[in-house]
A = this chain, B = another copy of it.
């Protein structure tokens, strides 16, 4: 039975009233195996163990520490050896200075506050295609952005997305009814995993290194993360033989793999898959009855001149058309987002999932799941529409739109090259080319002294390295252990996002720190 603390005694009710609670606590102590002395239900020993197990390093210990430091810097009394925190931990472009694209923001402002459409001064100051687009949306959705929409998202935007996909894939059609708009790609991935993880023996194949949304959501849903390794020596390439090894190993443990996550372009690894690799994956999914979860949120972020983005939808449909695989059999979920690319509209929370070759009654179940949360936010839905159907040549907004887009993408390309080159200059650091996406993922050889020191502190060596980097420079990166890596290797992920005017400073801080770190632990 619970021991009441002395400080509680003055709050006690008469003994007769205590009896229910006492009996309950007594019963709990007698009949449960936990040794808790708390009557509370939301305590570490009683919380959902799946939640306790889930890890999400992108916003973990380092970020919390950096938030404290930021407050310290803002207080004006800081003794920290730097003047600013540089958040390289997360693909959050506008947080680190990227300006939003003007066109969508103008349309959204008019949709948010339609009375502006009656203000001649406002209308005269806006390009006419902005006004027309806002009017189109408000006509299609007369209740505006303040009403719940259909749970899949508003029809007009799902139509725009379907048109975008069709054009992107060279005319291969997309069905607007098979597209669900969501509050970013993350909830779409989570709801898909929740549907597919039917019991605790279900396995989901994920790349190592992976974006930890996958491992976290698999843990939260009580499934098994089945690792397949990307080949660092081959520019983070993917081989079917490794997929097969991974699948066989899972089967030997009675884990029933039902889906595979593929991130292309890669996060945290920055590779862009070749068509041949993609065909191998589709064939593998077909052969083994796996749902292909294609995380394609970085499809606009391709940095190599000789590469283009190819969607899994296109590869799959073309293999079906050639008869390489049976038509209609290979299940594909393709995820996209307004948070990456050059929009970088993370805070608006917009994304979609396209369901390909999914049975209608399963789509009805997915609709039901979406409907429990009612709908995704309308502002994010419209932003998705504006991203996939931007101004076209001849429209008044086109020139500014293309300038803004090109400036961002060209600058990101320069930054991708610059950071990879700088990292490769560091002693004991090797970094594959960032072919796409918004990250570099260097491997760092840590001196034994650093490994020992980390061990004393009870931390993985790469976490120790990243914490030291933060404390010395204010730069926040994420340790490789948060993404997974080959045992005995150490990495970190940095975004390529700091603005170009700060870039030399970031690289200089990193370089100086690295040299001092090596010197200190050699």
Contact = CB atoms under 8 A, between A and B. Distances in A.
Interface in A116-160: 116, 119, 121-122, 125, 143-151
Interface in A24-69: 24-25, 28, 32, 39-44, 46-49, 51-52, 54, 56, 58-60, 67
A287 interface: yes
A322 to B, nearest CB: 9
Interface centre among A8, A51, A376 (most CB of B within 10 A): A51
Nearest to A383: B146
Contacts of A444: none
A361 interface: yes
Interface centre among A12, A28, A112 (most CB of B within 10 A): A112
Interface string A1-17: 00010001011110000
A288 interface: yes
B148 A92 contact: yes
B146 A184 contact: no
A392 to B, nearest CB: 21
Contacts of A32: 256
A147 B25 contact: no
A24 B44 CA distance: 42
A339 to B, nearest CB: 8
B151 A59 contact: yes
A109 to B, nearest CB: 4
Interface in A340-374: 344-349, 357-359, 361-362, 365, 368-369, 371-374
A88 interface: no
Given A51-B369, A112-B112, A347-B378, 7 more contacts: A12-B326, A40-B329, A43-B362, A59-B371, A90-B148, A105-B115, A184-B374
Nearest to A48: B198
A216 to B, nearest CB: 5
A320 interface: yes
A90 to B, nearest CB: 7
8 contacts: A8-B326, A24-B287, A41-B331, A59-B368, A95-B143, A183-B349, A183-B376, A347-B378
Interface stretch (A189-197, A461-469, A505-513): A189-197
Contact of A39 (B47, B60, B289, B369): B289
Contact of A290 (B41, B108, B145): B41
A135 B416 CA distance: 34
Contacts of A227: none
A516 to B, nearest CB: 31
B362 A347 contact: no
Contact of A372 (B217, B324, B346, B376): B217
A229 B110 CA distance: 47
Contact of A371 (B24, B56, B121, B362): B56
A377 interface: yes
Interface string A164-204: 00000000000000000001101100100011111000000
A320 B216 CA distance: 38
Contacts of A8: 326-327
A311 interface: no
Contacts of A39: 289, 329
A354 to B, nearest CB: 14
A152 to B, nearest CB: 11
Contact of A347 (B54, B216, B377): B377
A422 interface: no
A233 interface: no
A424 interface: no
Contacts of A196: 41-42, 47-48
A241 interface: no
A143 to B, nearest CB: 5
A419 interface: no
A12 to B, nearest CB: 7
A48 B197 contact: yes
A21 B195 CA distance: 23
Interface string A289-317: 11100000000000000000000000000
Contact of A20 (B4, B95, B288, B375): B288
A48 B201 CA distance: 12
Contact of A105 (B44, B58, B113, B221): B113
A147 B377 contact: no
B362 A42 contact: yes
A115 to B, nearest CB: 7
Contacts of A20: 287-288
A430 interface: no
